């Protein structure tokens, strides 16, 4: 336990020493990795990294898989900005001796986009739809009765017609539960390879100066610039205060240190009523210039019902305000536990 606490303190010291670099805004790609999932945690602004459990914890802190109640599957959908849809599927299987394994898949739906060319700037009549997706494989297990650790390996894919970029990344997470229902969590997210676009659509025909008349010309492919993925470090704490046997309040806060953005802070609250109904609220913003953040207040709610058998059914909804776009985010999540 002492070694675990020492490791958390050292990790925090490193994060403070390498604060988010505002001057590097726009220098990373694969921003799909930053789009949150799951109505429960979005409703509380992602503040419960320290106490996220079950299949939804795969995105926020893979260590939370170890504290989940058995096996679980979930499906979540968000209408994101600019008419983009975000679908997310995750499942976890818990083995008493081996630990908990998880599988997740996130994809973005952009709709049909008209194909334009130099000759036809208004469109050729054809359409295309980019494909952005992330596939993750997770594993977590308890180290002690209070400490759990988890890891997620991710395959990142971005494709536009016949041009694509592929990358690999890893998430690490630790959760520490005190006896007083106080949780401490640490994550390191999206540590991985650079990405680079390649493909046949980049091939360009050109004429070669000085060649004889009738020469068909040449074809070249430009060397695209590699880009980093948006990695970050998070430190989170949450406290679960039980009012009585039927009601409880959980409060949480998360500090995020970005590698190419301003540092962020998220605070959230969840009220449990009759051990079945939930009300949530939270706020997320940049530490230096919160007025420029396009996101603000988040709210949500849902229910978690245990049937007479082993089946557990959950439904959650979250609303996420967006300042610079005409529509806000609405998130719906369904979970089944076994």
Helix (H, G, I), strand (E, B) or coil at 219: strand
On average, the pLDDT of the chain sits at 88
The residue with greater pLDDT, 286 or 314, is 314
pLDDT band at 205 (very low <50, low <70, confident <90, very high): confident
Segment among 103-107, 143-147, 186-190, 333-337 with least mean pLDDT: 143-147
Alpha carbons within 13 A on the beta-carbon side of 136? 32
pLDDT band at 180 (very low <50, low <70, confident <90, very high): confident
Average pLDDT value for residue range 47-64:
96
The tokens describing 225, both together, are: 């610039």
Running DSSP on this structure, what letter comes out for residue 88? Answer: E
| pLDDT value, residue 21 | 58
Please enumerate in sequence order all residues whose Cβ is within 8 A of that of 266, keeping only pairs 6 or more positions apart, or say none.
45, 46, 47, 253, 254, 256, 282, 283, 284
Q: Do the Cβ atoms of 12 and 18 come closer than 8 Å?
A: no
Please enumerate in sequence order all residues whose Cβ is within 8 A of that of 327, keeping only pairs 6 or more positions apart, or say none.
79, 81, 83
Q: Which domains does the chain have, with CATH numbers?
A: 2-197+230-337 (2.40.160.60)
Average pLDDT value for residue range 312-335:
93
Highest mean pLDDT among 146-160, 179-193, 249-263: 146-160
| pLDDT value, residue 145 | 87
Q: In the predicted model, is pLDDT for residue 139 greater than 80?
A: yes
* Neighbour-count burial of 98, counting CB atoms closer than 10 A to its CB (0-12 exposed, 13-18 middle, 19+ buried): exposed
Per-residue CA distances from 272 to 45, 124, 180, 280, 305 (Å): 17, 54, 18, 9, 12
| pLDDT value, residue 4 | 52
Average pLDDT value for residue range 249-273:
93
- What span, in angstroms and rounded, lies between the C-alpha atoms of 211 and 115? 33
pTM (global) more than 0.75: yes
Phi, psi of 98 (to 5 degrees): -85, -30
| pLDDT value, residue 6 | 47
The tokens describing 234, both together, are: 């998070």
| pLDDT value, residue 3 | 58
**CB < 8 Å & 24+ apart, contacts of 151-154:** 151/62, 152/58, 152/62, 152/102, 152/104, 154/33, 154/190, 154/192
| pLDDT value, residue 126 | 92
| pLDDT value, residue 213 | 67
Segment among 176-180, 237-241, 273-277 with least mean pLDDT: 176-180
Phi, psi of 211 (to 5 degrees): -85, 160
Q: For 294-313, how does the pLDDT look when each residue is reduced to its tens digit (9 = 90+)?
A: 888 999 999 999 887 789 99
Q: For 88-126, how does the pLDDT look when each residue is reduced to its tens digit (9 = 90+)?
A: 999 999 998 899 999 999 999 999 999 988 889 988 989
pLDDT band at 159 (very low <50, low <70, confident <90, very high): very high
- What span, in angstroms and rounded, lies between the C-alpha atoms of 13 and 75? 37
């Amino acid at each position: 336990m002492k070694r675990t606490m020492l490791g958390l303190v050292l990790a925090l010291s490193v994060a403070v020493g390498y604060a988010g670099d505002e001057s590097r805004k726009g220098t990373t790609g694969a921003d799909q990795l930053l789009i949150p999932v799951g109505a429960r945690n979005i409703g509380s602004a992602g503040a419960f990294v320290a106490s996220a459990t079950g299949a939804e914890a795969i995105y926020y802190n893979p260590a939370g898989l170890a504290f989940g109640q058995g096996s679980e599957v979930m499906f979540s959908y968000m209408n994101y900005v600019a008419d983009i849809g975000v679908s997310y599927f995750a499942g976890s299987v818990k083995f008493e001796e081996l630990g908990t394994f998880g599988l997740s898949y996130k994809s973005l739906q952009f709709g049909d986009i008209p194909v334009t060319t130099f000759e036809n700037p208004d469109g050729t009549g054809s359409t295309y739809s980019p494909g952005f997706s992330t596939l993750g494989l997770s594993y977590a297990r308890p180290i002690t009765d209070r400490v759990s650790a988890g890891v997620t390996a991710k395959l990142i894919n971005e494709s536009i017609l016949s041009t694509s970029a592929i990358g690999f990344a890893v998430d690490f997470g630790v959760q520490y539960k005190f006896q007083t229902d106080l949780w401490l969590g640490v994550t390191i997210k999206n540590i991985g390879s650079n990405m680079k676009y390649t493909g046949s659509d980049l091939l360009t025909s050109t004429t070669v100066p000085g060649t004889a008349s009738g020469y068909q010309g040449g074809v070249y492919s430009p060397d695209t610039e590699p880009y980093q993925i948006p990695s970050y470090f998070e430190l989170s704490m949450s406290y679960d205060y039980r009012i009585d046997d039927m009601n409880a309040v959980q409060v949480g806060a998360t500090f995020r240190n970005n590698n190419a953005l301003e540092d962020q802070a998220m605070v959230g609250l969840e009220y449990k009523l009759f051990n079945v109904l939930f009300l949530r609220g939270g706020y997320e913003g940049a530490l230096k210039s919160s007025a420029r953040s396009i996101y603000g207040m988040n709210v949500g709610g849902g229910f978690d019902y245990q049937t007479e058998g082993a089946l557990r059914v959950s439904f959650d909804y979250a609303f996420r305000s967006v300042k610079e776009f005409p529509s806000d985010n609405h998130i719906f999540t369904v979970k089944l536990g076994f």
